[in-house]
Chain A
């Protein structure tokens, strides 16, 4: 597990990134991150529970353990920046501000789901919240994200795009293809490798000749940085610098987030590829929520009671989402044939 020490890879040709000294986040900001991370964890735990009850079907990939990555990155974005990710996507939607009820109802395959029950866990979208999926094919979010960035540049905005993918996807050919074009055309995209150490059951060391994934841009003259993805403040700091660099027109960047997922790849993971002790050790020593909680409790004006109140509030939101997702009806059979193609005059 990476320590908090940051590693960076800067191509010789690139200038040093401007070092801004970001001011320490105030307590209110910290509480905001805490709340977001807690919402994600409680939501995912509940999703796991509903899956076990047979209310969620198919694949269900939980984000528990990785919360700091998406919360830290989302905090760096402006209103016209865009996000795209893989199939481990519930957290990204919640962080983007999409309704937990709508997300949970999609997981249960109901009419009030964000995709009317037709997309499921891996396929939700919201152009209103600048969230572009939710993609089930490993690696697909990378060229698609670069395409969103192409559009940002084409439309002369200064918007940036976060394209998330995993350590497994980083070995995909289309990822290498996209790195090349993104740098060639200086696209405003940040490639975020959520390195949770395992592609399904295959560890990075067993799948990647170069295990330092932030170096993957070297052949394409893309700078990379390795970040402690269990520390939301480290993520935010690195993310903010990358976003500023990208927004200034300096082209793509790679952020490798060293993180860990506590649960299996999906719900049907036999967990034979790692020990229970390994998981337990990370939970005890590196948990992103506990880490932030400890920082917050050192601040003045916040006590256990305040955090407990927040816990209760989050629990209510998640319970309401779960109830909504079970009460919502199944989609009308007529929905089978809707939204296949847009009518020409639409």
Chain B
């Protein structure tokens, strides 16, 4: 029976990859452990080994082919004694192999290009920033990953005191390829691989910031920053105050935050609410690539400790980003979609969920406004209040837990400051109040889905 070689999933979030190179030719003998091909993903180039013994009977996907879906057949190995006739059946049937039951990153709505950004029907509230960048700005399509890299590279060019340290940021080119190429560009003095010692290197970064450097400390994920949270809070956030304004820690702590895909409870926590609680910290959590770039540049220039929460599932998504210098001010939310019936507010990937929900709601005749918070501390309360004044209904969306979360804070502020504007209770859509489960179906149940956001919006519209 001929054996199909399929495109492997090389990371929890990989959905497709490139067949970079075949290292065996048709007719070659292959044994278990032989490297037969090289696969390139957005994160790395990896070798695939044969687990079977036989002869490479057919190369189904030639080398150089991009966007090959995970699990599709890329080659066929013939077992001992099999002839070419065994090839026919394999390719056909195995293409129908069901996709693994892993949730692919939700397809995100294409970011509206600046010139086409629809205007709010009413006069835009003064505090809001509707457009991501001015109409007519020259843009290019970049992934969030590339935008973050560009932000660091530009700021490192501009300021010699900026450096990057973290696990695998240099020679490995970044665990999630965010720092790709920076070692070559800036050398080992400024792009520094650390041992796996978050508590220690976070503290060292803060000490370097005390001395006037501008460190960027990358956490492979923010889950691991729990070991370093003492320095983030006690050593970085509180020093300006404790010193009566004499000493500060201009430092950026950045890395992916929140659930990725199928990595279970210990690798899937959103820390936005944790850090947002701390006076002295600035907490940024962008959605689009343009914001990722503009906010990271602002964070690096900021004289305070900034916690910069990225999202692994967004790294590979593409958006329009202004070419050249692009700065986004910290602390200003953005109206990602104007609407009049209900306000949906979120940050990071939850903005994508809200935008998708808004499309669903539009089909039902509900015109939802979507606010991308961009910064969770300081919270742009004015933009939220202006929107609520207009829509009288508010749904918060986040991938963090409900208790004392970002949505809880927004609900409290709106309750205190805009109670009379509300026609319905503020409603939260959050991760369920459980550690994130591994099983695909349970994971999906635990995380907020666009459908949940749409349902919550309908309920506050009493529909």
Contacts and interface: CB of A to CB of B under 8 A. Distances in A.
Contacts of B230: 137, 140
A124 interface: yes
Nearest to B213: A151
B244 A147 contact: no
Contact of B209 (A84, A114, A147): A147
A133 B239 contact: yes
A127 B330 CA distance: 28
Contacts of A148: 207-208, 210-211
A341 interface: yes
A145 B207 contact: yes
B140 interface: no
Contacts of A133: 239, 243, 247
Contacts of B195: 177, 180-181, 184
B247 A154 contact: no
Interface stretch (A60-68, A115-123, A255-263): A115-123
Contact of A125 (B206, B207, B246): B246
B118 interface: no
A346 B303 contact: yes
B315 interface: no
Contact of A151 (B189, B197, B201, B207): B207
A48 interface: no
Interface in B319-350: 330
Contacts of B247: 125, 127, 132-133
Interface string B221-244: 000000000110011000111111
From DSSP, what is the main secondary structure of chain A's interface residues? Answer: loop
Contacts of A154: 161, 163, 189, 208, 213
Interface in B223-276: 230-231, 234-235, 239-248
Interface in A109-160: 113-119, 123-127, 132-137, 140, 142-152, 154-155
A20 interface: no
A146 B199 contact: no
Given A154-B163, A344-B330, A143 B213 contact: no
A173 interface: yes
A150 B208 contact: yes
B199 A174 contact: yes
Contacts of A184: 195
A144 B203 contact: yes
A134 to B, nearest CB: 8
B304 interface: yes
A124 B189 CA distance: 31
A178 interface: yes
B244 A339 contact: yes
A173 B204 CA distance: 14
Interface centre among B207, B240, B248 (most CB of A within 10 A): B207
Nearest to A119: B242
Given A174-B200, A339-B245, A344-B303, A147 B211 contact: yes
Interface in B184-214: 189, 194-195, 197, 199-213
16 contacts: A116-B245, A127-B210, A133-B243, A135-B234, A143-B200, A143-B204, A143-B206, A145-B207, A146-B200, A146-B203, A147-B210, A150-B204, A154-B208, A174-B197, A181-B194, A344-B303
Q: Which 6 pairs show the lowest CB-CB distances between chains A and B? A: A147-B207, A143-B203, A177-B200, A151-B211, A116-B244, A177-B197
